[in-house]
Structure 1
């Protein structure tokens, strides 16, 4: 797990606007969210992982055990969701369940200094990707 404790910076994205439209983000907010580029970091202490994101709004952290569902407030609008994070090998998969938005999957694949986040949604046949590089 050489990716633990590394800070990953946003590099580029593909079809993120399609994902935002699929989850029902209003058109007037999509342009702002297309610029959403948080740094990301994952740490581990015992069997507790901490997933950090740093945005212009400041740092946020989520603590979880792999495979255990948690309550989470997602996004700037703080939508209540149920999330399950599973860490296996070099991959962290987050499954997000929302009564309003459906089920989304954020698959984070760490490969050396690269991080690829693949975003899918059960109500959308598209795929979005976001790319990061370790500092």
Structure 2
């Protein structure tokens, strides 16, 4: 788990626009979210992980235990969702369940100084990817 405590900076993305359209992002927020480039960091204390990122609404911190479903409020609308984070080896998979938007999966694969986030949605046939590099 050499990726713990490393800060990862956004580099590029593929098909993120398709994902945003599939989840029904409002047009007035679309451009802002296309430029969404948060740093990401994961730390661990005992069996509790803390996932940090910076969103358009400011810094966020989520504490979780691997495999345990939690309640989260996401986005500027503070939409309630159920999230389950699972950390296995060099991969962290986040499954987000929303009544309004379906089930999204964010698979974060850490490989040395690289982080690839693969995003899928049960209501969409596409795949989006976001690429990060450790500082």
TM range (shorter): over 0.9
Instruction: After superposing the two structures, state which structure 1 stretch, 19-28 or 64-73, moved more.
Output: 19-28
Q: Give the root-mean-square deviation of aligned CA atoms.
A: 1.0
Deviation at 1:42? 0.1
- How is 1:5-44 mapped onto 2 (pairs within 5 angstroms)? 5-44=5-44
Query: Under a length normalisation based on structure 1, what TM-score does the superposition of the two structures give?
Result: 0.97
- Aligned mates of 1:95, 1:57 — CA distance in 2: 21
Match of 1:127 in 2: 127
Between the aligned partners of 1:123 and 1:62, the Cα distance in structure 2 is: 25
Segment drifting more, 90-99 vs 55-64: 55-64
SS of residue paired to 1:25: coil
In the comparison of the two structures, how many residue pairs are matched? 135
Q: Is the 8 A contact 1:21 1:27 kept in 2?
A: no
Could you tell me which residue of structure 2 aligns to residue 76 of structure 1? 76
Q: Which whole-Å CA distance do the structure 2 matches of 1:56 and 1:81 have between them?
A: 18
Q: Cα offset for 1:57?
A: 3.9
Please give the alpha-carbon distance, in whole angstroms, between the structure 2 residues aligned to 1:112 and 1:131.
Answer: 13
TM-score normalised over the length of structure 2: 0.97
SS at match of 1:20: helix
Cα displacement (A) at 1:56? 5.3
Unaligned stretches of 5+ in structure 2? none
Q: Does 1:49 align with 2:71?
A: no
Question: Which runs of 5 or more structure 1 residues have no equivalent in the other structure?
Answer: none
Q: State the 4+ residue runs in structure 1 displaced beyond 2 angstroms.
A: 54-58
